[in-house]
């Protein structure tokens, strides 16, 4: 193994994250996305957009924390959101893609899991937004989930 390769492997950090996505109770057409592990929230105009926004917000939090010498995992978790995500996973239907959620978004709560990767300790931290990968998504009727309003 070359030194460069060794350094790259040593510097790489991945964060397995999950988020609950649901319709905002007080703003028409807005979807809330809440990442349990980092307790960070973002919003979007559709479930797909909210998923994209929370992935970006989470990535920016991770980059900020690593630059400031903080540990991103110290931000959370939000136990209430984590419990709701587990409930959606248990009772919900697995989605093949976020586009599938859009097809029946009227009364749906969505749980997503993704992997955010970041190169730690590098002079310029790479943005994990670029290589975020949705691992799994589940959808359940909204009334079945304990949406933390």
Partner 1 sequence: MPLRLRDLAAHLKAHGIEVHDPKRGSHFRCTKDGFPAYQLPAHNAMKSELSDVYVRGVCRHFKIPMP
Sites of contact with partner 1 (CB under 8 A): 24-27, 30, 32, 34, 39-45, 53, 56-57, 60-61, 64-65, 68, 70, 74-75, 127, 129, 148-149
Q: Work out how close the CB of 99 gets to partner 1 at its nearest, in angstroms, rounded to a whole number.
A: 20
Question: Beta partners for 20?
Answer: 34, 111
Q: Which is nearer to partner 1, 4 or 28 (CB)?
A: 28
Q: Which is nearer to partner 1, 93 or 126 (CB)?
A: 126
For residue 90, which of 103, 75, 109 has the smallest C-alpha distance? 109
Q: Work out how close the CB of 89 gets to partner 1 at its nearest, in angstroms, rounded to a whole number.
A: 21
H or E segment to which residue 75 belongs: none
Sheet holding 93-95, edge to edge: 40-44, 31-35, 12-23, 108-119, 133-141, 93-95
């Amino acid at each position: 193994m070359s030194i460069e390769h060794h350094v790259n492997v040593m510097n790489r950090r991945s964060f397995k994250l999950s988020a609950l996505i649901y319709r905002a109770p007080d703003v028409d057409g807005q979807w809330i996305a809440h990442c349990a592990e980092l307790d960070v929230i973002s919003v979007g105009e559709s479930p797909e957009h909210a998923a994209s926004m929370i992935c970006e917000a989470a990535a920016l939090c991770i980059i900020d924390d690593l630059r400031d010498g903080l540990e991103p995992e110290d931000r959370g978790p939000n136990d209430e959101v984590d419990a709701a995500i587990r409930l959606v996973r248990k009772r919900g239907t697995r989605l093949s893609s976020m586009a599938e959620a859009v097809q029946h978004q009227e009364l749906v709560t969505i749980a997503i899991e993704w992997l955010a990767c970041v190169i730690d300790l590098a002079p310029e931290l790479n943005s994990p937004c670029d290589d975020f990968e949705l691992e799994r998504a589940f959808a359940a009727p909204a009334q079945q989930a304990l949406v933390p309003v």
